[in-house]
């Protein structure tokens, strides 16, 4: 495309400049002279107009013959062809050169990118090394401080070790005295334990005697309870018989009412017998209640005796266990 403002004057100046340099003013040469701008069609049109104007001027002058014009035309065409070939050759060389330059530029750009990446990596590595160096310096300083602290601690530990050695000797002396005191205590404890064992053995024998006596009492009470149960059963049977008798008397009383005159004597006798039976039944009921209360009392005493016996057996078991542990300790 032609650049903005390209005119025939620009084309004429470029052509005149080429002619002054001894170069053929071809379309490509003029375009190169114009900075590779402008279309070839525009350049060709302006050149044609310039040639027509110059040809008209020559015709108006009338100083040039047709033969000269023909010679000049052929010469101009030949020069134009030669110049065009040279220009084409130079343009191809320039194009190849531009391609080489562009490839070189692309390669250089790639190399620059790689060099920049390497530079960034080197800078990062350098920063890491510097940081590691700073950390190493700090660690060395810390180690030096720790070494001084450790030396002081070793010195303090030596002092403390001497103090502990003195304290250990004092503890050994105290331990020896403690062993002597412990042996004396063991002897006294053994004697006291023997006395306690004898006393507990006597208590055990006494408890066993009491247990045998309690068992005998329990057997007697159980016999009494059995007899009371039998008496209760007998009284219950008698009470049932008395009730039956009372019912029979009441029946007889009812019958006696039918014949009042004859029943008076029988009624008196019957009432007396009934009163006697009722008194006997009441007495039997009282005896039954008394026997029941006695049986409950005996059952309570039996439970208390069993509980006491169990407690005595527990005490005996604990004492025997204590005697066994004391013998094992000896």
The confidence score (pLDDT) of residue 2 equals 42
User: pLDDT at residue 329 above 70?
Assistant: no
Residue 237, pLDDT score: 83
Q: What is the pLDDT of residues 147-173, one digit of tens each?
A: 688 778 878 877 887 887 887 788 778
Q: Domain for residue 270, yes or no?
A: no
Query: What confidence tens digit (pLDDT) does each residue in 1-10 have?
Result: 445 557 888 8
- Cα-based angle 235, 238, 242 (whole degrees, multiple of 5): 135
More confident residue, 98 or 72: 98
- What pLDDT is stored for residue 174 in this prediction? 80
Torsion angle of the four alpha carbons 190, 196, 199, 200, in this order, in degrees rounded to the nearest 10? -120
* pTM exceeds cut of 0.85: no
Domain assignment present for 12: yes
**Dist CA 252 CA 271 (whole Å):** 11
Best-predicted range by mean pLDDT (28-37, 57-66, 192-201): 28-37
The answer to the question of residue 195 being in a domain is no
More confident residue, 290 or 201: 290
Q: What confidence score (pLDDT) does residue 326 get? A: 64
Range of the domain at 81: 8-100
Cα–Cα distance list, 23 to 27, 86, 189 (Å)? 12, 10, 142
Instruction: Compute the average pLDDT of residues 204-221.
Output: 79
pLDDT in tens, 237-276: 887 887 788 788 778 767 767 777 776 787 788 788 888 8
Residue 176 lies inside a defined structural domain of this protein? no
Most confident of 32-36, 64-68, 143-147, 200-204: 32-36
Asked if residue 89 is part of any domain, the answer here is yes
Q: Mean pLDDT throughout 79-108?
A: 76
Whether 300 maps to a domain, the answer reads no
Q: Is 59 contained in some domain?
A: yes
Q: Is residue 233 part of a domain?
A: no
Give yes or no for residue 102 having a pLDDT over 60.
Answer: yes
Count the domains in the chain. Answer: 1
């Amino acid at each position: 495309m032609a650049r903005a403002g390209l005119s025939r004057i620009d084309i004429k100046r470029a052509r005149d400049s080429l002619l002054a340099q001894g170069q053929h003013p071809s379309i490509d040469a003029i375009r190169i002279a114009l900075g590779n701008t402008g279309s070839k069609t525009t350049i060709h049109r302006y050149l044609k107009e310039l040639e027509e104007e110059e040809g008209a001027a020559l015709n108006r002058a009338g100083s040039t013959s047709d033969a000269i014009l023909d010679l000049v035309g052929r010469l101009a065409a030949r020069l134009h062809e030669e110049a065009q070939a040279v220009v084409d050759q130079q343009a191809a060389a320039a194009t190849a050169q531009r391609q080489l330059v562009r490839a070189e530029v692309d390669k250089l750009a790639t190399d620059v990118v790689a060099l920049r990446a390497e530079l960034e990596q080197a800078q990062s590595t350098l920063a890491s090394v510097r940081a590691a160096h700073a950390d190493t310096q700090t660690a060395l300083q810390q180690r030096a401080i720790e070494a001084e602290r450790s030396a002081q601690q070793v010195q303090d530990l030596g002092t403390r070790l001497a103090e502990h050695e003195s304290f250990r000797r004092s503890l050994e002396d105290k331990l020896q005295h403690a062993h002597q005191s412990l042996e004396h205590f063991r002897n006294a404890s053994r004697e006291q334990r023997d006395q306690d064992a004898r006393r507990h053995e006597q208590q055990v024998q006494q408890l066993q005697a009491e247990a045998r006596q309690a068992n005998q009492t329990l057997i007697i009470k159980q016999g009494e309870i059995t007899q009371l149960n039998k008496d209760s059963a007998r009284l219950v049977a008698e009470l049932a018989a008395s009730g039956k008798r009372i019912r029979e008397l009441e029946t007889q009383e009812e019958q006696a009412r039918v014949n009042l005159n004859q029943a008076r004597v029988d009624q008196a006798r019957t009432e007396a017998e009934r009163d006697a039976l009722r008194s006997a039944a009441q007495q039997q009921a009282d005896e039954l209640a008394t026997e029941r209360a006695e049986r409950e009392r005996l059952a309570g005493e039996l439970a208390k005796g069993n509980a006491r016996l169990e407690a005595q057996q527990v005490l005996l078991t604990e004492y025997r266990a204590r005697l066994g542990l004391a013998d094992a300790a000896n």
